[in-house]
Amino acid sequence: MALTVAQIIRIAKISQYLCLVDIEKSGLYGGGTDSDLPHKLRIVREDIEYQYDLDPSNSTLGATSTYLYALCGKYALYAQSIIFNPSTISGTIAGTSPSPYQFIVDASTSFIIDGQSSKTITAFIGYNLIFVRNGVTQNTSDDGSGSYYSWVKSTGSFICFPAASGDGLPGSDIFGLFPI
């Protein structure tokens, strides 16, 4: 199956976060993974995405998106399984998915504040969701860690367990909500 530029952009978005989580989980020296790879993926992806938004028929997009796909490496395959897995339903909204939310939980100004466990995220309606808490990708069922989440893509209803915790200082929860 030949991938389109839009599909490669989507794969790169997911690969960026999968790579980041892999580096965080791998300990000393990121398990040998280039610690700048998530940043490189973001920079190249945003450049391609910008050109694609300006002119989807741009003659350079084929080669540059192929480069981006290669840059994703092993994470591209995992990202594809997330997107194209027939046991899940991918987002049905055409075009570019909304920007992710990444923030440190605080008492009043963060997207989800200290003590809050639910939020309606209307911008993500129709999309699947990857939720990363403190560098660990969360599951939709309790895997024994006591930390998991619930997502209803038709309504945008998000619930996390346990509730968000933090005052914006070190030790506060760091959240990443990524529409796919």
pLDDT-derived band of residue 161, with 50, 70 and 90 as boundaries? very high
Counting beta carbons within 10 angstroms of the beta carbon of residue 78, is it exposed (0 to 12), middle (13 to 18) or buried (19 or more)?
A: middle
The predicted structure's pLDDT at residue 91 = 45
Q: Is 175 helix (H, G, I), strand (E, B) or coil?
A: strand
Angle at 127 between CA 81 and CA 69, to 5 degrees: 40
Whole-prediction pTM: 0.50
Do 131 and 140 contact (CB within 8 A), yes or no? no
Mean pLDDT taken over the chain = 84
Statement: residue 7 has pLDDT above 50: yes
The predicted-structure confidence for 103-143, as pLDDT tens digits, reads as follows 889 999 989 999 999 999 998 888 888 888 887 888 888 77
Cis bond upstream, residue 56 (ω within 30):
no
Residues 6+ apart with CB under 8 A from 105: 112, 113, 114, 164, 165, 166, 168, 172, 173, 174, 175
Comparing CA positions, the residue from 18, 82, 39 lying closest to residue 26 is 18
Q: Is the pLDDT of residue 80 over 50?
A: yes
Alpha helices in the chain, H assignment, sequence order: 5-25, 37-54, 61-72, 74-84
- Would you state the pLDDT for residue 27? 63
